[in-house]
Structure 1
Amino acid sequence: MSGPVRLTSLAHGGGCGCKLAPAVLREIMSKMPAAAAFPDLMVGTETSDDAAVWRLNETQALVATTDFFMPVVDDPFDFGRIAATNALSDVYAMGGRPILALAIVGMPIASLEPDVIGAILAGGASVCAEAGVPVAGGHSIDSVEPIYGLVALGLVHPDRVLTNRGARAGDVLILTKALGVGVLSAAFKQERLDPAGYAALIASTTRLNSLGAELPDVAGVHAVTDVTGFGLLGHALEMCRGAGLSAEIEAGAPALLDGVEALVTSGVRTGASGRNWASYGEAVREPPGLPDWRRDLLTDPQTSGGLLIAVDPAAADRVLSLARERGFDSARVVGRIADGPPEVRIV
């Protein structure tokens, strides 16, 4: 009798590595007709921000986002937890607090038992419960590959919205989670990931970025985004384009998840890492002699990755202390914002 179907075997990709390559997405978006002016639309598609923001009244703005993907692990409960954590992150990245979620479900009904699908939904609901929000509905279809995610809605004061475009020259860049989710997930699919590596993968991808809801209270925080499928370099570049400034990223500064360096130096990488570099490499300056594996980590797609925060140097220690108080022990200063064209320099 055959064993249970591996969720990852039913999908051509997994997690945020399933995202369209940045260059492809930009081409698609460039062909969309310009939206009419809406005075209450505070954040739209202009700078590829993490969520839309709509002003409701003088004290409330609605943060709205959706995120879904294919399995990054085989355990259905863990898959649900990861996908939900990742979706809620976009609300936190805008400085908001989630209030409501809707489930997005596409499952190959002929391949998966109802109990497996139920476990995926239960995993997502458990994370939403941790965040203090209900999964109040959703939509499901019979699809070729398993897909799960959320519509996530939140609230923020209109004067306290955090975007990816507010960085200022001289700001330092703080990343709150370690890199390497893509490498670990690739090793998992190749059956090369040991239990310690799997534990590190789950711990990172299921840690809610609820810190983001506290960042509007910290004077000197100017811009925030979460690092997901485009990797650290890609999301730093979006921040640069939004602000019209440059960024310097220190190649060895980000923390790495346990076991990642050994795996990546042995050749484990994701296809999305190469696609990311091909999409935005012309806007990245790398130093001579940078090892390929270092660049692979900087372009590694992060499923449910950390927050990238641009903050005045005088407030950097406060942000780092707050992050570590909230359990983000891997928070590090990874670079800075500088005057110059919208590009990223690896130093």
Structure 2
Amino acid sequence: MTPTRETPVRLTQFAHGGGCACKIPPGELEDVLGALSAALPPTTDFPLLVGAATGDDAAVVTLPGGDGATDRAVVSTADFFTPVVDDPYDWGRIAAANALSDVYAMGGRPVLAVNLLAWPRDVLPLDLAREVLRGGLDVAAAAGCHVGGGHSVDDPEPKYGMAVTGLADPSRLLRNDTGRPGMPLSLTKPLGLGVLNNRHKATGERFGHAVATMVALNRDAAAAALAAGAVCATDVTGFGFLGHLHKLARASGVTAVVDTAAVPYLDGAREAVRAGYVSGGTRRNLEWVATGTDFGTVDADTRLLLADAQTSGGLLVAGEVPGAPVVGELVERGPHPVVLR
């Protein structure tokens, strides 16, 4: 239905899914990318430090310093998705924070972003698109990151995000393949964003604390992780806590043991699960990690929350981060990449 003054716009009703829950399932994605990655020829002009092989958060290349200067790493990523909330300004802020997060998750600093916008121009007013872009611009400004234009297309379904370039010290990257036994696991934002967003889409209820969590930059968490000497991290987004932890444990050749009682959740998240506000993306996440996870006696609702498809979630760091709860540890590789206790 085309919105009118009498029928206010609910952006989430113009999307088949919401936020990072719209991602292609991780198993399907790996099948596609595995074949393509194997076919790519190597290049030595700018050494590739991090590529698609480990499923990390961004790609990283080295720029030789020259004349005795220190080498620099360039971090590159892109992220966009359908509306996760109805408010266009909030959606823009959330999408930008989510895209910038990939750079922070690698230990980098975002310096330049370009907008990626798909808009049904004959259905939704362009004034709303302006608000989406304004939200993205404000978050990028708070991050100290330039926004230098972008690309737009006329599309039946609205989508927004950013392609982001960042800089990092190649000797101080946060990677998902550098975890070692004995490292604790810290989580810098609570889980439950997916189920609250799904409830918002279904009912129109607004969860301000969820919005505040999603728009919060992972900048300070990344800085604290680096200051504490961490070398291994990932951010928790569309594949859920379990999906991203599974990728980290597999890439690092370790087993991650999770203390499920220590994992923090947003207020209302458990109630949303019990009420059935679970996205298809979350269920696909749980299905994907099932064969690689020892669930122990963990109940069904907790399993869903641990697999909940997050949008602009926190960092999962192999190391202690001041102020962040320790939710588990890495141990020698056992029969399963992930074990729940």
> TM-score when scaled to structure 2?
0.93
Q: State the Cα deviation string for residues 156-186 of structure 1 (Å, max 9, x = none).
A: 1111111111101011100000000001001
Matches within 5 A, 1:140-219: 140-191=152-203, 193=205, 195=206, 198-211=207-220, 212-219=222-229
1:286: which partner in 2?
Answer: 295
1:328: which partner in 2?
Answer: none
Cα shift at 1:214: 4.5
8 Å contact 1:53–1:64 — kept in the other structure? yes
8 Å contact 1:50–1:94 — kept in the other structure? yes
Is residue 340 of structure 2 the alignment partner of residue 332 of structure 1? no
1:82: which partner in 2?
Answer: 94
8 Å contact 1:96–1:213 — kept in the other structure? no
Q: SS of 2:246's equivalent?
A: helix
> TM-score when scaled to structure 1?
0.91
Q: SS of 1:9's equivalent?
A: helix
8 Å contact 1:168–1:222 — kept in the other structure? no
Cα shift at 1:261: 1.8
CA–CA distance in structure 2, aligned partners of residues 192 and 157 of structure 1: 44
CA–CA distance in structure 2, aligned partners of residues 214 and 150 of structure 1: 25
CA–CA distance in structure 2, aligned partners of residues 91 and 172 of structure 1: 22
8 Å contact 1:230–1:301 — kept in the other structure? yes
For 2:318, the aligned partner's letter is A
For 1:224, the aligned partner's letter is A
Gaps of at least 5 residues in structure 1 are 325-330
Cα shift at 1:59: 2.8
8 Å contact 1:78–1:123 — kept in the other structure? yes
Q: State the Cα deviation string for residues 118-168 of structure 1 (Å, max 9, x = none).
A: 000000000000001111011000011001000111101111111111101
Q: State the Cα deviation string for residues 223-252 of structure 1 (Å, max 9, x = none).
A: 010000011111011111111111111222
Is residue 103 of structure 2 the alignment partner of residue 91 of structure 1? yes
Cα shift at 1:332: 1.1
Range with greater deviation from structure 2 (266-275 or 221-230) = 266-275
Is residue 137 of structure 2 the alignment partner of residue 137 of structure 1? no
For 2:326, the aligned partner's letter is V
1:233: which partner in 2?
Answer: 242
Is residue 313 of structure 2 the alignment partner of residue 302 of structure 1? no
Range with greater deviation from structure 2 (231-240 or 337-346) = 337-346
Q: SS of 1:222's equivalent?
A: coil
CA–CA distance in structure 1, aligned partners of residues 310 and 31 of structure 2: 22
For 2:328, the aligned partner's letter is G
CA–CA distance in structure 1, aligned partners of residues 76 and 35 of structure 2: 23
Cα shift at 1:201: 1.1
For 1:54, the aligned partner's letter is V
Distance 1:71 1:192, change over 3 A: closer
CA–CA distance in structure 1, aligned partners of residues 177 and 34 of structure 2: 19
Gaps of at least 5 residues in structure 2 are 65-69
Cα shift at 1:253: 1.6
2:121: which partner in 1?
Answer: 109
One of 53, 56, 64 as aligned partner of 2:60: 53
Q: State the Cα deviation string for residues 282-326 of structure 1 (Å, max 9, x = none).
A: 1111113x2210000000011000000002xxxx2xx22xxx3xx
Is residue 33 of structure 2 the alignment partner of residue 29 of structure 1? yes
For 2:314, the aligned partner's letter is G
Is residue 270 of structure 2 the alignment partner of residue 261 of structure 1? yes
CA–CA distance in structure 2, aligned partners of residues 113 and 192 of structure 1: 20
CA–CA distance in structure 1, aligned partners of residues 328 and 62 of structure 2: 33
CA–CA distance in structure 1, aligned partners of residues 303 and 144 of structure 2: 38
8 Å contact 2:92–2:132 — kept in the other structure? yes
8 Å contact 1:23–1:280 — kept in the other structure? no
For 1:141, the aligned partner's letter is V
Is residue 19 of structure 2 the alignment partner of residue 19 of structure 1? no
CA–CA distance in structure 1, aligned partners of residues 48 and 277 of structure 2: 42
8 Å contact 2:83–2:91 — kept in the other structure? yes
Distance 1:189 1:346, change over 3 A: same
Q: SS of 1:252's equivalent?
A: helix
Identity %: 43
